[in-house]
Structure formats: C-alpha cells, structure tokens
Amino acid sequence: MKNSYRLEFNEKQQKFHLDNYTHSENSFGWVTIIENCTDKEFEIFESFINKSNKKSFTKEYLLKSVLELKQFIENLMEYNLNISSYV
C-alpha cells in the first residue's frame, strides 16, 4: 500500500517535509506544494526541480513546477510512456 502525504516546503529553511496530515497545514513557515503525494512522486518531483541546478527555491517556482510536471506526465501518457527506475 502506498502512503500518501502532504508535501510541504519551508522557503526560509529550503527544506521539504512529507507530512502525514498530523500537522496544521500551511503553518510555521511551511507551505503546501502538493496535497497528496507518495514517496515515489516526491522523488520524481525532486528530480524534476533539480534539473535547473538552482541553489534555492521559491514557493512560486515550486508551484509552477508542479503544473509543468503534471503536463509532462500527461504527455508521457499520451505516448504510452511511463517513468521507471533504471538500475
């Protein structure tokens, strides 16, 4: 079974947090980036945003990246392609 989390980001700390819905949303400097996110989806998202070699992220950049990644995944599905790990 895949666990789902709320992906939050703290811009000041430049850290992500996968919250299991036990903390108040958007509090103490944490901002929700993705409401329902699995571990694997977070890994894909993290890889996607790190393509730019940015040293720091903003909330706006991350929210825009979520939309871009969703569009990219939809395009992959249209071509009957999927993302898998290569070992």
The 3-state secondary structure of the chain, one letter per residue: CCCCEEEEEECCCCEEEEECCCCCCCCCCEEEEEEEECHHHHHHHHHHHHHHCCCCCCHHHHHHHHHHHHHHHHHHHHCCCCCCCCC
pLDDT tens digits along 31-87: 999 999 999 999 999 999 998 888 899 999 999 999 999 999 999 999 999 877 654
The verdict on pTM exceeding 0.85 is yes
pLDDT tens digits along 32-41: 999 999 999 9
Quote the pLDDT of residue 86: 57
pLDDT tens digits along 9-18: 999 999 999 9
